[in-house]
């Protein structure tokens, strides 16, 4: 039964969003997958300073007689009695904030809290060490036009921020977050949707090289990284590599503690296992395969992060890099050093992960190819 004047309310923005999502689900409904009829709001745990909310789309048969029904603008929200008591005076809202578009509850303490369950769209992410963006601009633009990723993370752009060809990418429909450096290094993230830069350097890494930029978009934090190679500069250069890996571990740990959904993508300059390095491609003392490098990779993975490619393709060569020397491409003497690590909830959405090998066969290509990952939608 619909109860008058419920103590928990729904904003116009939230009602509009719920109606839109349910309408899309109804359009694709089948007898095996019936359309939802309402959004259930439940309080999982917590108190005034820390409620955890669970939002779930439910079919008509999942609406219970004791539920409170809140109807607004063709949207139906249902709340169980126990949750309704805890939600007294609160409002369900929908907003586009720093962490992306999401439902939230404004509770009686005035706190604006993200819900634990969101309505995600399918996303196509890519990372590509382009090895100098300006001479390969047309190559990158052509790839963007064909592949249409939502986000492309570039490394080794090898130009200062002001020299980055942002206008060309903006004309193609992409906003740019750029951290450049003269001649060396440099990272840039291209996004088709609005974004916020969360940090333009890796927290805790004091070397001034341009190796990290992080944005938030569509409910995700995306860290774009270029981990030091470690083969130049002697042991000091290798120590810099390990220092970056340690700072990246700490950044991932911080994001996990903050309950943030994230992806850390880029050129890691690490072959995680022997299978990720073609026989004879590297010597045992190379920084990309040294035990300390692989241990740093495992420390990241042991935080609970998912290696997108190996989650779907656990065995076999899946190289992302072939040196320009010694006919490495022709001999398929490659390395897998470009990776995407996904936080736990993002990993649940993992659909595909593939290196785009065709790019290595282009005229004047980068020595790396794009690694492309798709994330499914979620409701």
What distance in Å separates the CA atoms of residue 68 and residue 115, rounded to the nearest whole number? 20
User: Are 86 and 172 in a shared domain?
Assistant: no
Query: How many Cβ atoms sit within 10 Å of the Cβ of residue 65?
Result: 5
Q: Return the pLDDT at 26.
A: 76
Which CATH number goes with the domain that contains 166?
Answer: 3.60.10.10
Selection from 66-70, 80-84, 117-121, 315-319 with the highest mean pLDDT: 315-319
Asked whether residue 19 is assigned to any structural domain, the reply reads yes
pTM: 0.73
**pLDDT tens, residue by residue, 259-276:** 899 999 999 999 999 999
Asked whether residue 301 is assigned to any structural domain, the reply reads yes
Choose among 55, 32, 148, 145: nearest CA to 102.
55
User: Are 105 and 152 in a shared domain?
Assistant: no
Considering only 37-46, 127-136, 202-211, 289-298, which range has the smallest mean pLDDT?
Answer: 37-46
Phi, psi of 300 (to 5 degrees): -65, -50
Which residue range(s) make up the domain with 148?
123-375
Mean pLDDT (the chain, rounded): 89
> Dihedral angle at the C-alpha atoms of 335, 337, 343, 347, nearest 10 degrees?
-30
Q: Return the pLDDT at 46.
A: 54
What distance in Å separates the CA atoms of residue 327 and residue 322, rounded to the nearest whole number? 9
Is residue 32 scored above 70 in pLDDT? no
Angle formed by the axes of helices 234-257 and 291-301, nearest 10°: 10
Average pLDDT over residues 248-253: 98
Is residue 202 scored above 50 in pLDDT? yes
Asked whether residue 282 is assigned to any structural domain, the reply reads yes
Q: Return the pLDDT at 243.
A: 98
Confidence of residue 178 (pLDDT cuts 50, 70, 90): very high
User: Are 85 and 169 in a shared domain?
Assistant: no
Considering only 92-96, 111-115, 249-253, 326-330, which range has the smallest mean pLDDT?
Answer: 111-115
In the chain, pLDDT over 70 holds for what percent of residues? 88
Query: How many Cβ atoms sit within 10 Å of the Cβ of residue 344?
Result: 12
**pLDDT tens, residue by residue, 322-356:** 999 999 999 999 999 999 999 998 998 899 999 99
Stated length of the chain: 379
The residue out of 54, 85, 114 marking a domain boundary is: 114
- Report the number of distinct structural domains present in the chain: 2
Confidence of residue 113 (pLDDT cuts 50, 70, 90): very low
Asked whether residue 4 is assigned to any structural domain, the reply reads no
Asked whether residue 1 is assigned to any structural domain, the reply reads no
User: Are 81 and 137 in a shared domain?
Assistant: no
The answer to whether residues 7 and 79 touch, using CB atoms and an 8 Å cutoff, is no
**pLDDT tens, residue by residue, 61-75:** 888 888 999 999 889
Strands 91-97 and 9-10: parallel
Report CA-CA distances (Å) from 17 to 57, 112, 118, 155: 12, 18, 11, 36
């Amino acid at each position: 039964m619909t109860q008058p004047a419920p103590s928990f309310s729904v904003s116009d923005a939230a009602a509009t969003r719920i109606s839109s999502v349910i309408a899309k689900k109804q359009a694709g409904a089948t007898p095996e997958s019936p359309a939802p009829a309402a959004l259930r709001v439940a309080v999982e745990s917590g108190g005034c300073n820390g409620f955890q909310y669970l939002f779930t789309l439910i079919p008509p048969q999942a609406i219970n007689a004791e539920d409170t029904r809140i109807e607004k603008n063709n949207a139906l929200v249902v709340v169980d009695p126990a949750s309704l008591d805890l939600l007294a005076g609160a409002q369900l809202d929908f907003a586009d904030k720093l962490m992306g578009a999401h439902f939230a509850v404004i509770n009686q303490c005035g706190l604006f809290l993200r819900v634990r369950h969101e309505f995600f769209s399918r996303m196509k992410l890519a990372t590509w060490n382009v090895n100098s963006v300006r001479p390969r601009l047309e190559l990158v633009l052509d790839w963007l036009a064909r592949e249409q990723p939502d986000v492309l993370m570039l490394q080794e752009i090898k130009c200062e921020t002001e020299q980055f060809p942002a206008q060309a990418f903006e004309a193609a429909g992409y906003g740019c977050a750029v951290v450049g450096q003269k001649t060396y290094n440099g990272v840039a993230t291209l996004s088709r949707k609005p974004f916020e830069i969360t940090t333009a350097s890796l927290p805790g890494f004091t070397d001034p090289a341009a190796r990290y930029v992080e944005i938030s978009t569509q409910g995700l934090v995306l860290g774009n990284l270029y981990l030091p190679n470690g083969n130049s500069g002697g042991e000091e250069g290798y120590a810099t590599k390990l220092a970056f890996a340690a700072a990246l571990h700490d950044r991932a740990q911080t994001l996990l503690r903050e309950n943030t959904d994230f992806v850390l993508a880029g050129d890691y300059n690490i072959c995680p296992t022997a299978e990720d390095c073609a026989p004879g491609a590297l010597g045992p003392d190379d920084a990309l395969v040294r035990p300390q490098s692989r241990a740093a990779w495992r420390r990241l993975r042991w935080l609970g992060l998912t290696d997108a490619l190996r989650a779907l393709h656990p065995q076999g060569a899946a190289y992302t890099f072939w040196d320009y020397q010694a006919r490495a491409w022709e001999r398929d003497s490659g390395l897998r050093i470009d990776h995407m690590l996904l936080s736990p909830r993002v990993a649940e959405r993992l659909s595909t992960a593939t290196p785009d090998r065709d790019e290595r066969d282009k005229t004047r290509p980068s020595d790396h190819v794009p690694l492309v990952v798709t994330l499914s939608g979620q409701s």
